[in-house]
Chain A
Amino acid sequence: MDQLKTLLATAPDRIQAAPNLEALREVENQLLGRKSLVAESRRSLASLPSEERPVVGAQLNEAHQRLTALIEGRRADLERIAEDGLLLGDRVDVTLPARELRLGWHHLVTQTLDEVADIFVSLGYGVVTGPEVDTAWHNFDALNTPPTHPSRLESDTMYVDYGNPDDELLLRTQTSTMQVRYMEQHDPPVYIVAPGRCYRADTLDATHSPVFHQIEGLAVDENISMADLKGTLAHFMREFLGSERKIRLLPHFFPFTEPSAEMHVSCFNCDGSGCRVCGKSGWIELLGCGVVDPHVLEAVGYDTSKYSGFAFGVGAERLAMVRHGINHIKHFYENDLRVLRQFT
């Protein structure tokens, strides 16, 4: 049996040394074939004394199994190597753009509106949309903007020739119209955002477009306060511009909020130390907001002694321009594919 031990000790190297399947078959034949030590020992089992036979038999079986396993392992390796060798003949240049899957891009305005809507949906808000041509009542009067207010002049607002002239139909100048339309139809509590297109008789310049998009936020409930406005905007900004953002409110004026404020957010580029993005101030002026003016709630028949609210409006283009460093608002409306393809 010393012969068998020697055989088992040397067999792994012999098997591993087989360079190809043919050589492996030769080694297999030598180790387990008809004339192999294992086969011959098996044939001579009968000549052994009966008490030795089971012991030797078991040793021979074990040796056979081990050798078979080693050979099969080596065979699997050699087969894989052989196939890989064949596949190399099928090699191609994988960096060649031989076939393109041509996808389009979502417009940055809709991406931005969706992203903002989602932030507020996660806070339990609904998303409402409505008409772009609306009455002066919805755009101005109900929003506490008197008939003499300069923003109602044709130099600021585009009017359309349709319907009853008394209704003074116009292209809405703000999504705040949706505050009114929604509250006309629904009782408090109100938690909505209203994305959509707005229009002003502005001349196109780097930051103003006569056609632009806003998203309006409105919460009306019992005891809604300016602190709620601050907390909500801070959350919004942290979601949109990074978790480190801080906000500040500065007093401002809008007809439909009182108190009114302008929200500034700490610069995401320099974190407040001052850079090109924020004009060295550390803060970026981003949106107008405030506590809903009691006249607005009264205009839709809400009880102002019970309900209060906050509102804000932010330009989608402005948000996107700030975040992505877009230098001119025209890029949103030329539909230049060289620009659209950046809207990833």
Chain B
Amino acid sequence: MKVSVRWLRDYVDVPTEDPDELAEVFSSLGHEVEGYEVLDLQFSGVIVGRVEEVSPHPNADKLRLCRVTTGGDPQDIVCGAWNFEAGAIVPVSVPGAVLAGGLEVGVRALRGIESHGMICSAAELGLGDDHSGIMVLDPEVEVGTKFAELVPLPDVVFDLSITPNRPDAMSMLGIARDLGAYYRLPVRIPAGSLIEVEPESRVKVTLEDPHGCPRYVGREVKDVKVAASPLWMQLRLRSAGIRPINNIVDITNYVLLETGQPLHGFDLDHVAGEEIIVRRAEPGETLRTLDGVDRELSVWDLVITDASGVVAFAGVMGGETSEVSDGTTRVLIEAAHFDPPSVMFTAKRHDLRTEASSRFERGVDPNLPGRAAERAAALMVELAGGRAVAGVQDNYPEVIEPWPVELDLKEIPRLLGIELDREVVIDLLSLIGFESTGQNPLVVTVPTFRPDVRRPADLVEEVARIHGYDKIPETLPVGPGGGLTEAQLTERRLRGLMTGLGFSEAQNWSFVGTEDLENLGLSADDLRRRGIAVRNPLRDLEPLLRTTLLAGLLKSVRFNASHGADRLALFEIGKVFLAEPSPIDARIPNQPDRLAFVAVGEFGSPQVKGGHSIADVYTATATWRALVETLGIPDAVLRQGSPAGFHPGRAADVLVGGTIVGSVGELHPAVVRSFGLEGRVAAGELALEPLVASRSWWVFQEPSTYPPVVFDLAFDLDATVPSRALVELVTESAGEWLESVRVFDEFTGPSLGEGRKSIAVQVWFRAPDHTLTNEEVAPHRDRIVNRVEDSLDAHLRGGT
């Protein structure tokens, strides 16, 4: 909300000229300052003139030729604006004048006609950003007056962000009330005596939906003369960001800004039957609103109707048929109270947010309409020559009274951490219009302009706000001792390990497209293909919640590849969303955490002198083994497999405790191509939970102080036998002194024959209590060889 300080001074004697100080005050009251603008005169030499004559420009269709007097002989002025006719009172910059932005005005030929100055728009005078037409002044202003004398400047205009709980502060008086409380100054509420004329108004108001419209005040003013409103009012409206239209509309807007009560002015001669009925719209009804748009109404829309049909959206916008126009003489001022949700939904449904709707949807004081209508009528009498008609219609079936809220004074120290005496609390509350009685609890009467204050906590907030949040001390409570869980600590180690292995951590948005899931080669019956749809997705291409982290990572890798990056190794830890009930709450989908990684191209430690390795299946399996060894994941197994989306011959299922927890390997070349990449892509996706799950404590093993016996065994065996089977068999058959078995060579070739391969292992034996001799180890070595040869259709090719 835009707040002119000069305008505020109508209501409260703001004791500072310093905008920065005032900004601090607004902030401390809870009205966030988005900014402020210091306004001053930006022109000189502008005189009030009258347009005597308007004729077409002989050489230009878009220009007109005006005869304008500023007190002396009329001069020709060429003008491009069309929002005025002969007789209009206007600001004229005569030759020698300087306009906002420094433009010096002289005598200038425009399309062959000499123009002796300019008729000015608000923007040209630095009084707003309205370029749409020239300023048309109140007809009462005397021609020849220096325009600068009419302009109430300098001024400071604040842009305040009003929180949704404070509809009362969406008005000059509301802001003045808070400033008054802060500075302990009285607030002046404008009130004039309204003289009404007989006979009584014939306007009849019926509330068919008193829930949607608990109160409707209709007040008639007749004999108005529609014209431009006075300059001061125009400028105040402009300072608030509202374009002046004419005196009647301007007055309704002015009173809205002053009091916070939205008003509507109907041309009473166009209200059929002089009858107002407030009801819900009926199916098929339509309304052409003031913005010229035809709108189809829903049965949820609350509308104002006359004898012939709908004339306005209640609390949002009026209709064209009953709009106040230049010929209007009888005005019906509507000041009503509407149900906030009803206004909100109509505004949303028709995408129409107005000054009125933004106030009604937050809750306007139900006891304001009477006063606001009277204020508007008084201004119409004063500024538009109107006469207020007796017989105001005020339909208010159930009067809403101020309500009591009990406040136990112990709540102040309990919730704020400060001690305040009862008298201080009473005083603070009285500053914002809350009256208190009683000892303890206090019984506080809350005025109806504060619909947000209903409970003791709400009063506590008001006490704190007016007392000042800055007066609350700082104390530091300490919890009972929390700390990270084992899983949280392990996850951190896991992330540290992944970065240590060369992967950088990525964060992708949680959405995927149907096509992404197809491209990943997931079969139709895979749970991961049935992504949960977002009803209002951000991007049509990604309407689903991700069921895998790989799609996002592959896109990130491609993004980086397109920038020529060379360390294409990323990992991500995050949730996927599966269409099955969550174990923690069956109402919501399962949302397990996953770890995924992708590496493409050079990986590991490239060397200027010497080569580098290219990421492949073994990069993926090595990454998995590093996780297992470093995190101490028990019972972890890597098994040749063909997980969806992976290369059928270069991928593995990984198992923990006998359950598949994910896959590692190279992605299928078709998947790689579909994500715009090429070459081998090492990848893996694993459930996080088993990786970080709590483990039993490990038990220390004393390292032997005796030397080992080490020997190598190379076997010729079937090419389909996995090396893991060989290692397991060696381990099983080695006996108690076995320390380790490690594969150190594998090859195939003509010397071995079709379908055969060679695998060599190095075996370490060591006893805890003595030095082993070759003779001691020999029978064990023989047993290993025999078992392998028998069980794996292998034969020993050589050994040491």
Chain A residues with a Cβ under 8 A of chain B: 96-107, 109-110, 114, 117, 120-121, 123-127, 130-135, 148, 150, 153-155, 158-164, 167, 169, 171, 189, 191-192, 197, 199, 201, 210-211, 219, 221, 223-228, 230-232, 234-235, 248-253, 258-262, 291, 293-294, 308, 332-338, 340-341
Chain A facing B: main interface SS: mixed
Contact pattern, B 571-612, Cβ under 8 Å of A = 1, otherwise 0: 101110101001011011101000000000001111111100
Q: Please, which residues of chain A bring their CB within 8 A of the CB of B164?
A: 253
Contact present for A125 and B416 (CB under 8 Å):
no
Closest CB of chain A to B465's CB: distance in Å? 5
Contact present for B166 and A164 (CB under 8 Å):
no
Q: Please, which residues of chain A bring their CB within 8 A of the CB of B577?
A: 132-133, 160
Contact present for A99 and B605 (CB under 8 Å):
yes
Docked Cα-Cα span, A331 to B631, in Å, equals 31
- Interface size of B by CB at 8 A reads 99
* Max chain A Cβ within 10 angstroms of own Cβ: one of B30, B344, B498: B30
Contact present for B479 and A125 (CB under 8 Å):
yes
Contacting residue for B565 out of A102, A131, A163, A338, CB 8 A:
A338
Docked Cα-Cα span, A305 to B608, in Å, equals 71
Closest CB of chain A to B593's CB: distance in Å? 9
Q: Please, which residues of chain A bring their CB within 8 A of the CB of B340?
A: 148
Closest CB of chain B to A320's CB: distance in Å? 12
Contact pattern, B 495-521, Cβ under 8 Å of A = 1, otherwise 0: 110111111111111100000000000
Contact present for A124 and B560 (CB under 8 Å):
no
In residues 276-318 of chain B, which contact A (Cβ within 8 Å)? none
Contacting residue for A102 out of B464, B567, B575, B582, CB 8 A:
B567
Contact present for B495 and A160 (CB under 8 Å):
no
Contact present for A234 and B474 (CB under 8 Å):
yes
Docked Cα-Cα span, A199 to B606, in Å, equals 40
Q: Please, which residues of chain A bring their CB within 8 A of the CB of B582?
A: 131
Contact present for A250 and B458 (CB under 8 Å):
no
Q: Please, which residues of chain B bring their CB within 8 A of the CB of A211?
A: 509-510
Contact present for B476 and A232 (CB under 8 Å):
yes
Contact present for A259 and B465 (CB under 8 Å):
yes
Contact present for A159 and B536 (CB under 8 Å):
yes
A210-B509 contact given A121-B482, A227-B475, CB 8 Å threshold: yes
Contact present for B532 and A161 (CB under 8 Å):
yes
Contacting residue for A132 out of B27, B482, B571, B575, CB 8 A:
B575
Docked Cα-Cα span, A159 to B535, in Å, equals 5
Docked Cα-Cα span, A214 to B188, in Å, equals 45
Closest CB of chain B to A136's CB: distance in Å? 11
Docked Cα-Cα span, A20 to B281, in Å, equals 112
Closest CB of chain B to A266's CB: distance in Å? 13
Q: Please, which residues of chain A bring their CB within 8 A of the CB of B504?
A: 104-105, 107, 335, 337, 340-341
Contacting residue for B472 out of A135, A199, A227, A260, CB 8 A:
A227
Docked Cα-Cα span, A337 to B417, in Å, equals 48
Contact present for B536 and A158 (CB under 8 Å):
yes
Contact present for B474 and A230 (CB under 8 Å):
yes
Contacting residue for A258 out of B461, B605, B610, CB 8 A:
B461
Contact pattern, B 435-479, Cβ under 8 Å of A = 1, otherwise 0: 000000000000000000001011011001100011011111111
Q: List 19 A-B contacts (CB under 8 A).
A: A101-B605, A126-B479, A132-B577, A133-B545, A153-B348, A158-B537, A160-B589, A161-B533, A161-B535, A167-B588, A189-B480, A197-B574, A225-B414, A227-B475, A248-B469, A259-B416, A294-B457, A335-B504, A338-B563
Contact present for B344 and A150 (CB under 8 Å):
yes
A337-B605 contact given A104-B571, A121-B483, A127-B485, CB 8 Å threshold: no
Instruction: Determine whether B415 belongs to the interface, using a CB cutoff of 8 Å to chain A.
Output: yes
A230-B473 contact given A117-B484, A253-B165, CB 8 Å threshold: yes
Closest CB of chain B to A270's CB: distance in Å? 16
Contact present for B455 and A227 (CB under 8 Å):
no
Closest CB of chain B to A304's CB: distance in Å? 9
Contact present for B475 and A191 (CB under 8 Å):
no
Docked Cα-Cα span, A210 to B475, in Å, equals 35
Closest CB of chain A to B284's CB: distance in Å? 26
Which B residue's beta carbon lies closest to that of A221? B477
Docked Cα-Cα span, A271 to B532, in Å, equals 48
Contact present for B472 and A230 (CB under 8 Å):
yes
Contact present for A131 and B588 (CB under 8 Å):
yes
Closest CB of chain A to B720's CB: distance in Å? 35
Docked Cα-Cα span, A155 to B344, in Å, equals 14
Contacting residue for B477 out of A107, A135, A232, CB 8 A:
A232
In residues 612-666 of chain B, which contact A (Cβ within 8 Å)? none
Which B residue's beta carbon lies closest to that of A226? B416
Q: Please, which residues of chain B bring their CB within 8 A of the CB of A105?
A: 499, 504-505
Contact present for A337 and B474 (CB under 8 Å):
no
Contact present for B608 and A227 (CB under 8 Å):
no
Which B residue's beta carbon lies closest to that of A304? B457
* Max chain B Cβ within 10 angstroms of own Cβ: one of A110, A134, A211, A227: A227
Docked Cα-Cα span, A178 to B606, in Å, equals 45
A335-B344 contact given A154-B535, A192-B482, CB 8 Å threshold: no
Contacting residue for A191 out of B27, B348, B414, B479, CB 8 A:
B479
Q: Please, which residues of chain B bring their CB within 8 A of the CB of A134?
A: 588
Contacting residue for B538 out of A110, A169, A192, A210, CB 8 A:
A210
A97-B505 contact given A171-B534, A197-B574, A249-B469, CB 8 Å threshold: no
Contacting residue for A103 out of B461, B500, B563, B591, CB 8 A:
B500
Which B residue's beta carbon lies closest to that of A156? B536
Q: Please, which residues of chain B bring their CB within 8 A of the CB of A235?
A: 476
Contact present for B341 and A148 (CB under 8 Å):
yes
Docked Cα-Cα span, A82 to B464, in Å, equals 81
Closest CB of chain B to A239's CB: distance in Å? 12
Q: Please, which residues of chain A bring their CB within 8 A of the CB of B480?
A: 124, 189, 191
Q: Please, which residues of chain A bring their CB within 8 A of the CB of B476?
A: 123, 228, 231-232, 234-235
Contact present for A133 and B591 (CB under 8 Å):
yes
Docked Cα-Cα span, A332 to B565, in Å, equals 17
Q: Please, which residues of chain A bring their CB within 8 A of the CB of B575?
A: 131-132, 197
Closest CB of chain A to B54's CB: distance in Å? 46
Q: Please, which residues of chain B bring their CB within 8 A of the CB of A250?
A: 27-28, 30, 32, 469
Contact present for B469 and A158 (CB under 8 Å):
no
Instruction: Determine whether B570 belongs to the interface, using a CB cutoff of 8 Å to chain A.
Output: yes
Contact present for B587 and A124 (CB under 8 Å):
no
Contact present for A335 and B556 (CB under 8 Å):
yes
Q: Please, which residues of chain B bring their CB within 8 A of the CB of A161?
A: 532-535
Extra inter-chain contacts (16) besides given A162-B589, A340-B505, CB under 8 Å: A104-B571, A121-B483, A124-B481, A132-B575, A160-B534, A161-B534, A171-B545, A226-B464, A227-B418, A227-B474, A231-B477, A232-B477, A253-B165, A335-B506, A335-B570, A337-B560
Which B residue's beta carbon lies closest to that of A147? B341
Q: Please, which residues of chain B bring their CB within 8 A of the CB of A199?
A: 510
A100-B606 contact given A135-B587, A260-B461, A335-B560, CB 8 Å threshold: yes
In residues 78-126 of chain B, which contact A (Cβ within 8 Å)? none
Instruction: Determine whether B569 belongs to the interface, using a CB cutoff of 8 Å to chain A.
Output: yes
Contact present for B472 and A249 (CB under 8 Å):
yes
Which A residue's beta carbon lies closest to that of B342? A148
A96-B608 contact given A221-B477, A250-B32, CB 8 Å threshold: yes
Instruction: Determine whether B488 belongs to the interface, using a CB cutoff of 8 Å to chain A.
Output: yes
Docked Cα-Cα span, A211 to B509, in Å, equals 6
* Max chain B Cβ within 10 angstroms of own Cβ: one of A96, A159, A235, A258: A258
Docked Cα-Cα span, A162 to B482, in Å, equals 35
* Max chain B Cβ within 10 angstroms of own Cβ: one of A104, A167, A189, A333: A104
Contact present for B495 and A251 (CB under 8 Å):
no
Closest CB of chain B to A294's CB: distance in Å? 5
Contacting residue for B585 out of A125, A131, A262, CB 8 A:
A131
Instruction: Determine whether B783 belongs to the interface, using a CB cutoff of 8 Å to chain A.
Output: no
Closest CB of chain A to B503's CB: distance in Å? 4
Contact present for B587 and A163 (CB under 8 Å):
yes
